[in-house]
Amino acid sequence: MIEIRSLVKRFGPFTAVDGVDLDVARGEVLGFLGPNGAGKTTTMRMVTGFLAPTSGRACVCGLDVGEDRIAAQRLLGYLPEGAPAWPDMTPAELLDFAAQARGMDRAARRAAVGRAVERVQLESVLHKPIENLSKGFKRRVGLAQAILHDPDVLVLDEPTDGLDPNQKFEVRRLIAEMSEGKAIVLSTHILEEVDAVCTRATVMAKGRLVADGTPADLRAKDPRHGAVRVRLVDAGRAGAARATLAELASVSAIEDEDGALICLAAGGASPADAIYATCREHGFDLSELTPLEGRLDEVFRELTGAPARGERSTVGRTTEEAVR
Amino acid sequence: MSGARNLWVVGKRELRSYFATPVAYVFLVVFLLLAGFLSQFLGQFYEGGQANLESFFSFNIWLYLFLVPAISMRLWSEERRNGTIELLMTLPITETQAVLGKYLAAWAFCGVALALTFPIWITVAYLGDPDHGTIVTGYLGSFLMSGAFLAIGSMVSACTKNQVIAFVVTATVGFVFILADFPFITGVIDAYLPEVFGQLVRSIGFMTHFSGLQRGVVELPSVVFFGSLIAAALYVNTLLVAHVKAS
């Protein structure tokens, strides 16, 4: 449904998007992750025809957006970053305008606006000027506009930004509901959102895609994925336990964390059973034995070049020492 | 077909937005008060003792100079500042449709303001026996000239997010067009530059082109001048909108 080929966008000397290739199929909900300035919004703007690429192309349902912008935009719903809207219009007027611009006749407009309004629950503010609405309602006006014509391809730039937890939940439910039969791309900073709605996640950094896979694939990139946290009743024996556990074949390395031992998996099966058996054998009484999952935020930091877990704590310590 | 439809859709939204805020009403009241005031006190509409609207039309150009930029300054600057340009240009609407639709809405609004000066026509018809053909031509000429100011303003407004800048630049450009055929400008040019420059500058002067029309003489070159000025400004306007989108 969406095909992006070697997409590049330069603004003067600055390369915002640097050769992105991406395909999104029907039924997929693609989460677009990345720090601010990574090129997510620029990529979305090129897919939706707002920006022209410097080179490469973006196709929507087989239509090249650069060559056939209008035809592609008919098939596309787009929520721009920040959900811009004319402040002096009411949601009813804005949605009616968007429906007219999409060539619907009066009856079709009424039906489409009614359906979109119901889906994002805008009824209560339908006739209030948008400038007087809360951030959450403004975002929902933008969402309603994007889904108005029930498009095959939906591009949402930070759809849950500025919403309270209940509203976020509603929007995620809405996206999940609509995902069947559509290709949906959404950008977000909120990693939990990827688990909540996305079937696939990509990470962008400095204009390039640095990871692409299911949320579980991404999580598995964390070195602590599959690790086991072990805490002893008698903290004094931690050193002895550490030496013993380090010899296990299923444990690749052991890290300390708040008096607990983090036994990293050597790959393959979880080391939990072996650790438990070894500890019983050597008489180490356990107060905790917790299998760990990889954390998306750690993977995200690793991929996007921010200091990861270990490095950050080192930096913290150095600063503390310097202050002393 | 869908092109004309989109013009209408864009234009209707634009026009409605004028009346959603006090902008439209303030503009209309100021325009009508000033039009009446200037023609009566400075133009000696009554004392002149002539049954025509020359004293009224001759001040229209000065009114447009600073009132039209007040309308045109928001056309694209505001869309850029609000980010709504992204909403507008990701709907299936072409740059040309968006530029023309917004322009025509603003021009229609100028037309409404001009049409609301009709009491002065009634007054002159009541007091004397004017040549109505001349008055119609004068109105059309005035409308055409407002369109030229507006097209320049729309183009300038696409260059900036700042409405104040759009206003000032538009008014300045308009002022240049008005001054172009004033003797103190053309005199200097004639004195120092080859004759062709003087002719060129004179030919873009709004005053000359409008003065024929306001006296009831439909001079084709003047109509073509205003028409092509509008077309050129709007063409550049669409390029600017496309460029703004691209960067």
CA B245 to chain A, closest CA, distance in angstroms equals: 6
Question: Which of 3.30.70, 3.40.720, 3.40.50, 1.10.150 would CATH assign to domain A228-322?
Answer: 3.30.70
Q: What architecture is domain A2-214?
A: 3-Layer(aba) Sandwich (3.40)
Numbered ranges of CATH 3.30.70 in chain A: 228-322
Is A308 in contact with A294 (CB distance < 8 Å)?
no
CB A163 within 8 A of CB A196: no
Average pLDDT score over chain A: 85
Residue count (chain B):
247
* More confident of the two residues B41 and A102: A102
pLDDT band at B197 (very low <50, low <70, confident <90, very high): confident
Per-residue DSSP letter, B44: -
User: Helical H runs in chain A?
Assistant: 40-47, 69-74, 91-101, 106-120, 135-147, 165-178, 191-197, 215-219, 238-245, 272-282, 296-303, 309-323
CA distance B25 to A87: 18
B87, B88, B239: best to mutate for the A interface, most A CBs within 10 A = B87
Q: How many residues comprise chain A?
A: 324
Question: Greater confidence, A304 or A63?
Answer: A63
CATH 3.40.50.300 location in chain A: 2-214
Taking an 8 Å cut-off on Cβ atoms, the answer to whether A76 and B90 are in contact is yes
Mutate to test the interface with B, among A10, A14, A55, A70 (most CBs of B within 10 A): A70
Confidence of residue B247 (pLDDT cuts 50, 70, 90): low
For range A40-61, the mean pLDDT:
93
Q: In this predicted structure, what is the pLDDT of residue A166? A: 86
pLDDT in tens, A275-285: 888 888 888 88
Contact B87 A84 (CB under 8 A): yes
The H or E element containing residue B3 is helix B2-20
pLDDT in tens, A235-270: 777 788 888 877 777 788 888 877 788 888 877 678
CB-CB under 8 Å, B9 with A101? yes
B89 contacts A50? CB cut-off 8 A: yes
Chain B residues with CB-CB distance to A78 below 8 A: 90
d(CA A120, CA A171): 8
Q: How near does any CA of chain B get to the CA of A32, in Å?
A: 20
Burial B19-30 (b: 16+ CB within 10 A, else e): ebeebbeebeee
CA distances (Å), A257 to each of A229, A261, A271, in order? 9, 6, 18
CA distance, residue A211 to nearest chain B CA (Å)? 27
Confidence of residue B166 (pLDDT cuts 50, 70, 90): very high
**In this predicted structure, what is the pLDDT of residue A312?**
43
Domain boundaries, position B123 = 3-246
DSSP-assigned states of every residue in A130-163: GGGS-HHHHHHHHHHHHHTT--SEEEEESTTTT-
pLDDT of A306 higher than 80:
no
Contact map slice: B 66-85 vs A, CB within 8 A? 82-84
Q: What whole-number distance in Å separates Cα of residue B54 and Cα of residue B236?
A: 34
Mutate to test the interface with A, among B6, B13, B82, B93 (most CBs of A within 10 A): B13
Q: Are B149 and B68 in contact (CB under 8 A)?
A: yes
**What is the model's pTM?**
0.85
Minimal CA separation from A147 to chain B, in Å? 12
Q: How many domains is chain B partitioned into structurally?
A: 1
State ipTM: 0.88
Q: Chain A contact for B6, CB < 8 A?
A: yes
Residue B112 identity: V
Q: Which residues does A contribute to its contact with B (CB < 8 Å)?
A: 11, 45, 48-52, 70-71, 73-74, 76, 78, 80-82, 84-89, 93, 97-98, 100-103, 129, 145
